[in-house]
């Protein structure tokens, strides 16, 4: 009889051969394999960016390059959350947030690829649209770093309300070098921007803010102030500058506040703690207190909301782009898994019911992509009109209303889309290393950030009330597809009827905005997508021949054709 040691040494170390599992999802050009995005980029006038976007797409989709890859950086930055150090070892107050090196790699990638600056620095046409294609591509690696990238992008139009501050800071926030050191931005030659608006007692009701700003040299636009108070939700607190709302004798005003003062000293605010959030773990979000912090007023006294709303509008655009990016990531993972996993004698993707689910997810993803890219073009058109001195142009009115409409709908659709995509992977999708739980946790953020559902819905009504021609402009865009799809035409007529009873419209605001969003998405798909996609969308979303969950498309839908458009090619 063999000894115990002989039995152990002769035992196989492997009990079975791994089979029926998908290969790693790697070597993918995240941009070029995204046919709906590729087509939308061309359709909306930014085809010139395709080569650059493809290079970024290959970087995002690679398994592991020299120094890692964006997908790995995203995982590491989430697994190693930011850590707040309020004091150094000697007891000095420092208020510094320590990030994993992967976070800085992601930030460097975003800045070097001009995700924060392209529209402000490029003379090429449709620069906002081009940036949207790049941003949607990069965000599929990780969403958290896009928060400071977005705020840095969005701060520029607000800064321009104060030309001398824009002249000082715009070259820094549009620079293509990333430097996380806590030294004056002028010494670094670059800057990252943040935004502080909300407070404990008010949240979205910023008019209830109590933080006060006292003038140091007479006050007024561009003047110096000391700010005292608190802010309740401050993401990316290690940024170089922040736009801050605070009360003055003239009312709520906007201020530019640097983290590090020109003499190298730290400005007078303390980071109280970091938020323990549902998701978005890689990005630090904090609560802060200001103790006479030095700042300069941006825009006119008492017009702080009007000044900062330009920044808010651009961040809302990125919420829509980000929601579409998350949906695309979910679709890619769901299709990849089901293409290689077999059950009951067939690949999952060949099972009729799974095809229904996948096709439905693809429809939602493609509709959100088309919506995001059309919104980006609206920003290009509105910017062009503004440069020519045209106020309240059709493009500007459409941009204002459609951004809010798109922000409401795309961001509302994202969480359930992420859940359903995760379910396509079964138990494997519920495991962290699949990446799907992170995608799922991230999905609700865009709906909450920069205005939750009620705030955005009421914002749409407010925009329509202030500029009644906005509805006419919006419907004119939708009706470019008039006569091409009976379901869309009928939906648009029902939508128009929603505005005939102003007495109840506020309580119906979500229903109204939902109808507007579906009309716009349907119109975009009818005009720009193949009939298989447009018809299935309009039948299921506009005519009621679809259920409340994904995977309830009519049985006659062209499932295979719809999925083929979104199928990633390795």
Q: Residues 217-261: pLDDT tens digits? A: 899 999 999 999 999 999 999 999 999 999 999 999 999 999 999
Position 65 scores a pLDDT of 59
Q: How far apart are CA 33 and CA 55, in angstroms?
A: 12
Total length of the chain: 570
The single-letter DSSP state of residue 267 is: P
Q: How far apart are CA 305 and CA 295, in angstroms?
A: 17
Pairing verdict, β 241-248 and 93-98: unpaired
Q: DSSP string of 331-386? A: HHHHHHHHHH-EETTEEGGGSHHHHHHHHHHHHHHHHHHHHHHHHHHHHHHHHHHH
Q: How far apart are CA 290 and CA 280, in angstroms?
A: 25
For residue 532, which phi and psi values (nearest 5 degrees)? -60, -40
Position 13 scores a pLDDT of 77
**Weakly modelled stretches of the chain, pLDDT under 50:** none
Comparing CA positions, the residue from 147, 503, 569, 177 lying closest to residue 339 is 569
Query: Is-contact 439 422, C-beta < 8 A?
Result: yes
Position 202 scores a pLDDT of 87
Give pTM, 2 decimals. Answer: 0.96
- What domains are defined for the chain? 35-147 (no CATH), 167-305 (2.40.110.20), 306-566 (1.20.140.10)
Q: Residues 154-203: pLDDT tens digits? A: 999 999 999 999 999 999 999 999 999 999 999 999 999 999 999 999 88
């Amino acid at each position: 009889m063999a000894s115990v040691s002989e039995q152990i040494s002769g035992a196989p170390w492997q009990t079975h051969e791994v089979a029926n599992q998908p290969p790693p999802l790697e070597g993918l050009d995240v941009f070029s394999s995204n046919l709906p995005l590729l087509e939308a980029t061309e359709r909306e006038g930014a085809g010139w960016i395709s080569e650059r976007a493809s290079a970024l797409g290959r970087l995002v989709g690679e398994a592991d390059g020299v120094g890692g890859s964006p997908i790995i950086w995203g995982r590491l930055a989430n697994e190693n959350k930011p850590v707040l150090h309020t004091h150094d070892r000697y007891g000095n107050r420092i208020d510094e947030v320590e990030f994993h090196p992967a976070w800085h790699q992601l930030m460097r990638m975003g800045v070097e690829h001009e995700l924060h600056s392209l529209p402000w620095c490029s003379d090429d046409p449709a620069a906002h649209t081009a940036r949207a294609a790049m941003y949607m591509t990069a965000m599929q690696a990780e969403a958290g770093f896009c928060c400071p990238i977005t705020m840095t992008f969005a701060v520029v139009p607000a800064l321009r309300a104060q030309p001398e501050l824009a002249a000082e800071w715009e070259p820094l926030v549009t620079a293509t070098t990333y430097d996380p050191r806590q030294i004056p931005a002028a010494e670094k030659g670059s800057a990252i921007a943040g935004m502080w608006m909300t407070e404990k007692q008010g949240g979205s009701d910023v008019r209830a803010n109590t933080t006060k700003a006292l003038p140091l040299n007479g006050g007024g636009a561009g003047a110096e102030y000391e700010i005292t108070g608190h802010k309740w939700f401050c993401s990316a607190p290690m940024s170089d500058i922040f736009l801050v709302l605070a009360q003055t004798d003239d009312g709520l005003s906007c201020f530019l506040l640097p983290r590090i003062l020109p003499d190298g000293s730290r400005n007078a605010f303390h980071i109280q703690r970091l938020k323990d959030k549902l998701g978005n773990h890689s990005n630090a979000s904090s609560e802060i207190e200001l103790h006479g912090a030095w700042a300069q007023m941006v825009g006119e006294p008492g017009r702080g909301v009007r000044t900062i709303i330009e920044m808010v509008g651009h961040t809302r655009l990125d919420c829509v782009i980000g929601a579409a990016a998350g949906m695309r990531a979910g679709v890619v993972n769901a299709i990849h898994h089901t293409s290689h996993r077999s059950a009951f004698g067939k690949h999952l993707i060949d099972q009729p019911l799974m095809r229904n689910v996948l096709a439905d997810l693809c429809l939602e993803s493609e509709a959100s992509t088309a919506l995001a890219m059309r919104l980006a073009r609206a920003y290009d058109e509105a910017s062009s009109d503004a440069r020519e001195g045209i106020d309240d142009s059709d493009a500007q009115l459409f941009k204002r209303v459609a951004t809010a409409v798109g922000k409401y709908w795309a961001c509302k659709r994202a969480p359930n889309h992420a859940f359903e995509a995760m379910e396509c992977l079964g138990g494997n999708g519920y495991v962290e290393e699949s990446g799907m739980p992170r995608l799922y946790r991230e999905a609700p953020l865009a709906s909450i950030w920069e205005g939750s559902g009620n705030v955005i819905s009421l914002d749409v009504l407010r925009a329509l009330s202030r500029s009644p021609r906005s509805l006419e402009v919006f419907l004119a865009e939708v009706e470019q597809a008039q006569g091409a799809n009976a379901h869309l035409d009928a939906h648009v007529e029902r939508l128009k009827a929603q505005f005939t009873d102003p007495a109840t419209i506020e309580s119906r605001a979500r229903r109204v905005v939902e109808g507007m969003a579906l009309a716009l998405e349907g119109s975009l798909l009818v005009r720009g997508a193949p009939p298989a996609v447009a018809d299935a969308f309009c039948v299921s979303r506009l005519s009621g021949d679809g259920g409340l969950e994904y995977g309830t498309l009519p049985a006659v839908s062209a499932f295979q054709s719809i999925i083929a458009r979104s199928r990633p090619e390795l």
